[in-house]
A and B are shown apart, each in its own frame.
Chain A
């Protein structure tokens, strides 16, 4: 069966820490970082290596700062 491997890159300096991505991720891949960015927000980071590239986080991210990659392995 084909399996999807996902990967995301977040432009953390533009993150506003709204947590919409975190809430929308079915895999619990994301969380807020303990550190803050230039703007003073705790930013979203990947905390588990289980992303499937489902796109949810990118769709809901208001700032449009999540790039999503997806590789299907047969």
Chain B
């Protein structure tokens, strides 16, 4: 790790700091409120990507988001679009209500693994099975973040959490649930992909997947899920960089990245 004590700042070159050379800045569709998420948390990165797309595609007035209970329940503080909070697990039922009333708008949910794959499994499977034309963004961090690190359905075998303090014992606590694979079997589901945001390349791919899903929604193809294998440095009790390493070395081997289902395809 870099030692912060021995470093000097280098002045910027004003010749390059010109509007014409600007290639990245935070999208205007994010509010000025600083994220409350912990340092290095993938939630922030995914919020950012989604709002970049809303700005780029120009759909700020045409999109409604649903964020249920979980660390991201405050998503509406940051995303400058019409939003609804939902009860824990109920996002896809709530979004179904929105979708059925507003057939011409974009509708998405933004859910954690406890929300989507434990308490809300029924709502998830049935919304998917009805082929609701909704984008479901699923943040898989293998843990209950908001309530301080209890086991989630996605917690890896042997992984320590506050309710699996000796490591998840699959014999008594069940197996980690691959909800993406499960949903990809349903005919109402158009697109399921699993991505991550732990490297710049993966960030680009996640953004591409989200864009693809919004495009499919516009075409009315049905239910799309973009799963993001993410981190929870605070509850994993790791530094942000250690948590990215854990994503790479432990999470992704069990939750392999890539498309699980594409329209008209496998």
Chain B 217-229: CB-based contact to A (< 8 A → 1; otherwise 0): 0000000000000
A42:B4 contact, CB within 8 angstroms: yes
A62:B16 contact, CB within 8 angstroms: no
Contacts of A16-51 to chain B: CB distance below 8 A:
16-20, 22-24, 31-34, 41-42, 45-49
List the A residue with the shortest CB-CB distance to B207: A59
Residues in chain B near residue A47, CB distance under 8 A: 7-10
Contacts of B1-59 to chain A: CB distance below 8 A:
1-2, 4-10, 12-13, 15-18, 21-27, 30, 34-35, 37-45, 48
Count A/B pairs, Cβ under 8 Å: 120
Dominant secondary structure of chain B at its interface with chain A: loop
Residues in chain B near residue A5, CB distance under 8 A: 13, 16
Q: A32-B2, A67-B22 are in contact. Are A7 and B35 (CB under 8 A)?
A: no
Residues in chain B near residue A22, CB distance under 8 A: 2
A49:B13 contact, CB within 8 angstroms: yes
User: Looking at the complex, which of B89-97, B143-151, B168-176, B195-203 is the stretch in contact with chain A?
Assistant: B195-203
Say yes or no for B240: interface residue by CB 8 A criterion.
yes
Q: A19-B240, A20-B241, A31-B4 are in contact. Are A69 and B200 (CB under 8 A)?
A: no
B30:A34 contact, CB within 8 angstroms: no
A55:B24 contact, CB within 8 angstroms: yes
User: How many residues of chain A get a CB closer than 8 Å to chain B's CBs?
Assistant: 42
8 Å CB contact of B17 from A7, A55, A64 = A7
CA distance A19 to B4 in the complex (A): 11
A53:B23 contact, CB within 8 angstroms: yes
CA distance A7 to B200 in the complex (A): 18
Q: Which residues of A contact B (CB under 8 A)?
A: 5-9, 14, 16-20, 22-24, 31-34, 41-42, 45-49, 53, 55-56, 58-71
Give 6 closest A-B pairs by Cβ, nearest first: A62-B44, A18-B40, A16-B39, A7-B16, A18-B39, A64-B26
In the complex, 8 of the A-B residue pairs with CB atoms within 8 angstroms, ordered by the A residue number, are: A5-B13, A7-B17, A42-B4, A45-B9, A49-B10, A49-B13, A58-B24, A69-B16
Given contacts A62-B45, A67-B24, 16 further A-B contacts (CB under 8 A): A7-B17, A18-B40, A22-B2, A31-B4, A33-B7, A34-B4, A34-B5, A47-B7, A49-B10, A59-B200, A60-B197, A62-B41, A62-B48, A63-B35, A70-B21, A71-B15
Q: Which residues of B contact A (CB under 8 A)?
A: 1-2, 4-10, 12-13, 15-18, 21-27, 30, 34-35, 37-45, 48, 197, 199-200, 203-204, 239-241, 244
